[in-house]
Structure 1
Amino acid sequence: MAELLEPIILGDGIPLRNRICMGSMTRNRCMDDNKPVEATIKHYTDRARDGTGLIVAEGTFICAHGAEWPNAPVMYNQEHADAWARVTSAVHEVGGKILFQPWHAGRIQNDNMPMLKQSGYPVYAPSKIPAKGGKFRTLEGNPGHTHNLTEIDDPKAIVEQFRRSVTLAKRAGFDGIELLSQGGYLLHNFLCSHSNTRTDQYGGSVENRCRFPLEVLDAIIEVWGPRAVGIKICPSDDYNDTTISYEELTDTYTYYIKELMRRDLAFINLSRRGCDVGRETDSYFRSQPRPEGKELPPKYEPLAQFGSFIKYPGSRTMLMVNHEYTVEEAADSVRKEKIDLVTFARPFIYNPVSG
């Protein structure tokens, strides 16, 4: 455990009191027109006070959305930034550090959700291929993900939405950015061949499918610089209709991670969701058998396949890991110099004891 409590510097100058990170978790508490409220401030401040080294704030939508989280935050105008500034200021007052996670849900939406329906904003995706599954409990009949998709005509317009959102996050006083590139959301939609069947420069080859996520990342770097930016990826993901073959996984993420490393990022957060972690886990996140043709090798672990791409002598990009790590497993990985940081999430749902 002592290994996890060592202070460390993230990027070029973000001092963390320890190697333990609180992962992003949608809390549905942004009740003031999807802006943080006093409960939000208390939630993050309590966990920053003498606690986690780094907080990644809940995923925050860069535009009007139709995802299944009615009170999730948005960040696309100055009022949103002003509200978040109260959160970041309170976190900083107790010695914490907090990152902003920009989020576009892509095809994992329903166009009848109130915010999206009211705004008239479409459900954008790289291709008109609906995602399997979904259950929108706040809509009559509990429908799944929408079939009413709009193929993105100009991806650069969405890149500019990301740029504006992270610019507002900088004004709001966040310490940096974690870009979400997993979970079946927009960036991930472009990466997967079954959700991206475009025939232009954004589809087809691995290089083309990675183009949009990398353009988004480059726009963020232009605002923040690379050393305050990280990215969250999950090669083995099986969430929100994201399962791909081992061959595609290897080809896509070998190229993608090498491109990420060319950008001198502060960190890469490597998730192992979709893997058998070798013990009983929460039933919600327990991976189901993968479809025929998309099986993983026995005891597959993304860290074993890709860790050396990120953490090696001379690398300035830290390796963060997440998904069902125990304290003992994480501490052992730090001790063996396999990782630099570890993310825990659900343990932080518990309310800290005061006094």
Structure 2
Amino acid sequence: MSLFTPLKLGSITIQNRIGMSALTRNRSTETVPNEIMQKYYVQRAVGGAGLIVSEGTLITRQGSEWAQAPGIWDKSQVIGWKKIIDAVHEAGSKMYCQVNLTTTCIFNEEVDWGLSQLWHLGRLSHPQAPEQIAAGVPVYGPSAISARGGKFRFLPGAPGYVTPTAIDDPTVIIDQFKQAAINAKEAGFDGVELHGANGYIVHQFLDSTSNKRTDEWGGSVENRARFALETLKAMVEVWGPDVSLKISPAGGYNDMGMPLQETIDTYGYLLQEAEKLGLSYVTFVRYSAGQDPVIDGMHRATKHDVVATFSPFLKNTHIFVNSGVTPAEAEELVSSGTAAGVFFGVNIITHPDLVKRIKAGKPLDNVPDVHQFYGALGVDPALGYVDYKEAVY
């Protein structure tokens, strides 16, 4: 099977083409990675994942509502991650850090699992969130435009979005991403992934519905792509070829989405310029009905075939496909050359031995309980996290 052939990504080689997508799980100890997180990641490494991408990892305290989301802005967090990465390496897998400015406290009504990396929430933060209060700064966005929909369910009264303060100098945030990349290298990760998807800060700069700036960071396609490209350049300065990007051009989630031609023009330019940086891979998040909320009576996503539309813009960069991929489809995507690899999300949460099951032809029969995906204070963190059964081989 093509899925089980090695693949060179940047300066490393992974043992197969199956990756674990970044998945917010909220089991850290006040933002510090801990022993149960180590067990969780090692289970998936032992289960055969060629590449593991960490859950959304905070690059700063600003905007985080969940104290259980891990960070990478201080020494204790770096030490915690290093223990995990050393154990993952010993189990035979490689691991990228998906870097984020903050973790999300927003839940779409129709989908209750998160996707995250080196990450900044931007306008999707809330001023009443405990970590936002502790940071002592406003909620920021590219422009003073509030997202529609969404609820902060872990805040009293489940409030919605607020109008953000327009970011005065985006280079300050780019510098935070760069420092997070430096910290990720110190922790021993094999690379870093920039979260350019799902309506967070990078996506907000790209999308003309959330970015109405009139300076060099908004307006034209080139200006709206500037934030993503400058952030990638800063990360490449630290990591060389071991930097990747995740994008969701179909949009929808967190009130994102442009007309189709504008979407093609924007992401086509972004990808053409990003390829010049020598990235290890780009992940395409496909259209998902669960990430296509109805806002003001209309579906928000720009529904189209993301892989077919944007693959031609990448001539020399590996493509990974994410969102609703089945094992059979994964094999077809790789064997046909459509993708270099695939990422699994919910299936690898519920099947720590997913890769072994696929190789052995075993069924995926663990039933997910999305209400346990994120954990909760006062609840055993093992539930829905490290307690899924493995198949008998």
- Superposition TM-score, scaled by structure 2 size: 0.81
1:343 Cα offset (Å): 0.4
Query: Aligned AA for 1:65?
Result: Q
Contact 1:176–1:229 (8 Å) recurs in 2: yes
Partner of 1:305: 309
3-state SS of paired residue (2:122): coil
Q: 1: distance between equivalents of 2:97 and 2:200?
A: 17
SS at match of 2:231: helix
What secondary structure sits across from 1:107 in the alignment?
helix
Residue in 1 that maps onto 2:105 = none
Residue by residue over 1:232-274, the C-alpha shift from the partner in whole angstroms, topping out at 9 and shown as x without a partner, is: 0111011001121112111101111111111111101111134
Q: Percent identity?
A: 41
Is structure 2 residue 3 aligned with structure 1 residue 4? Answer: yes
1:261 equivalent in structure 2: 275
Residue 287 and residue 152 in structure 1: after superposition, are their counterparts in 2 closer, same or farther (change >3 A)? closer
Q: Give the equivalent residue in structure 2 for 1:239.
A: 253
Instruction: For residue 267 of structure 2, give the secondary structure of its aligned residue in structure 1.
Output: helix
CA 1:183 to 1:87, structure 2 compared with 1: closer, same or farther past 3 Å?
same
SS of residue in 2 equivalent to 1:101:
strand
> 1:286 Cα deviation (Å)?
5.7
- Choose from 48, 56, 61 the match for 2:58: 61
Structure 1 equivalent of residue 16 of structure 2: 18
CA distance in 2, matches of 1:114, 1:337: 46
C-alpha change, 1:210 and 1:35, in structure 2 (3 Å) is: same
Counterpart residue type for residue 340 of structure 1: A
Cα distance between partner residues in 2 of 1:336 and 1:165? 36
Q: Is the 8 A contact 2:38 2:87 kept in 1?
A: yes
> Against the structure 1 CA distance between its residues 150 and 347, is the aligned structure 2 distance closer, same or farther, given a 3 Å change threshold?
same
Q: Which amino acid aligns with 2:172?
A: A
State the secondary structure of the residue aligned to 1:178.
Answer: strand
Q: Does the Cα contact within 8 Å between 2:199 and 2:256 map onto a contact in 1?
A: yes
Q: Tell me the distance in 2 between the aligned counterparts of 1:344 and 1:120.
A: 37
- Equivalent in the alignment of 1:212: 227
Letter in 2 for 1:306: F
- Give the C-alpha shift of residue 308 in structure 1: 2.1
Q: Cα gap change, 1:293/1:183 in structure 2, threshold over 3 Å: closer, same or farther? A: closer
Residues 59-89 of structure 1, C-alpha deviations (whole Å, 9 max, x = no match): 1111113345441111112221111111111
Q: What residue is the counterpart of 1:287 in the other structure? A: 292
Which residue identity does 1:64 align to in structure 2?
Answer: R
Given residue 219 of structure 2, which amino acid in structure 1 is its aligned partner? G
1:188-218 deviation per Cα after TM superposition (whole angstroms, max 9, x unaligned): 1100111111111001000000111111110
Q: List alignment gaps of at least 5 residues for structure 2.
A: 100-118, 351-387
Distance in 2, Cα, partners of 1:198 & 1:14: 39
CA distance in 1, matches of 2:205, 2:292: 23
Cα pair 2:256 2:300 within 8 Å, conserved: no
How many residues in Structure 1 have an aligned counterpart in Structure 2?
A: 335
Distance in 2 of aligned mates of 1:64 and 1:166: 16
1:51 partnered with 2:48: yes
Deviations along 1:99-153, whole A, 9 cap, x unmatched?
0011111111111011111221221111111111221112111001223x22111
How far has the Cα of 1:287 moved from its partner?
3.4
- Paired residue for 1:119? 135
| Residue type of the alignment partner of 1:264 | G
Matched-pair contact (CA < 8 Å) for 2:252–2:301: no
Deviations 1:154-192 (A, max 9, x none): 111111101111100000000001110011111111001
Write the mapping of 1:1-355 to structure 2, written as runs, cut at 5 A: 2-11=1-10, 13-31=11-29, 33-102=30-99, 103-147=119-163, 149-225=164-240, 227-274=241-288, 285=290, 287-288=292-293, 296=302, 300-310=304-314, 312=315, 315=316, 317-350=317-350, 351=388, 353=390
TM-score by length of 1: 0.90
Residues 20 and 52, structure 1, Cα contact 8 Å, conserved in 2: yes
Unaligned runs of at least 5 residues, structure 1 = 277-284
Judge conservation of contact 1:50–1:94 (CA < 8 Å) in 2. no
Tell me if structure 2 keeps the 8 A contact 1:21–1:341: yes
